[in-house]
Amino acid sequence: MSQSLYPRRAVLKGALTGLAAIPVVALIGEAQAATKVDPTGAQAKALGYVADSSKIDAAATPSYKAGSKCVSCVQWQGKPTDAEAGCMIFAGNLVAANGWCKVYAKKA
Ligand code: SF4
């Protein structure tokens, strides 16, 4: 009787391991599906998103403060070393670390 428990435990353990891996696989799939924000898209244009903040004409963009960029924004979802990452404003897309938009708010 106790011998029949081992296969059942093995099956249960395998099933639990498989279930635990599902969220990881889902996250990886989501990250791969994310695309860069298209600066010519309607939302990006409305928010003045640019992928390279060093090219912003500060005189023509009063809301831009020198040195502001996505990597230091409270909406940035990546690590400080990431070249691009998710942004809460452009959900499902990637923004550039050196990017910027009018919603910029410096991280505390
Ligand atoms: S909200 Fe912040 S992180 Fe997102 S695009 Fe604008 S400046 Fe970059």
SS (H, E, C) the chain: CHHHHHHHHHHHHHHHHHHHHHHHHHHHHHHHHCEECCCCCHHHHHCCCECCHHHCCCCCCCCCCCCCCHHHECCECCCCCCCEEEECCCCCEEEECCCECCCCCECC
94 touches ligand 1 (CB under 6 Å): no
Which atom of ligand 1 has the smallest separation from the CA of 70?
8
Does residue 45 contact residue 58 with C-beta atoms inside 8 Å?
Answer: no
97 touches ligand 1 (CB under 6 Å): no
CATH of the domain at 100: 4.10.490.10
pLDDT tens over the chain, length 108 residues: 445 555 666 555 644 554 454 454 445 545 556 899 999 999 999 999 999 999 999 999 999 999 999 999 999 999 999 999 999 999 999 999 999 999 999 999
State pTM to two decimals: 0.72
Residue 66 Cα to ligand 1 middle (Å): 15
Q: Which residue has the tokens 């435990």?
A: 9
Give the domain extent around 2: 1-33
Q: Give the model's pLDDT for residue 1.
A: 47
Q: Give the model's pLDDT for residue 91.
A: 96
* 91 lies in the same domain as 43: yes
Pocket test for ligand 1, best of 53, 74, 95, 102 (most atoms within 8 A of CB): 95
For ligand 1, atom 4, which residue shows the shortest CA distance? Answer: 87
* 61 lies in the same domain as 82: yes
Q: Give the model's pLDDT for residue 25.
A: 43
Structural tokens at position 50? 């640019």
Structural tokens at position 95? 């923004």
Tell me how far apart the terminal alpha carbons of the chain are, to the nearest angstrom: 61
CA dist., res. 23 & res. 15, Å (int): 14
Q: How many domains does the chain have?
A: 2
* 78 lies in the same domain as 92: yes
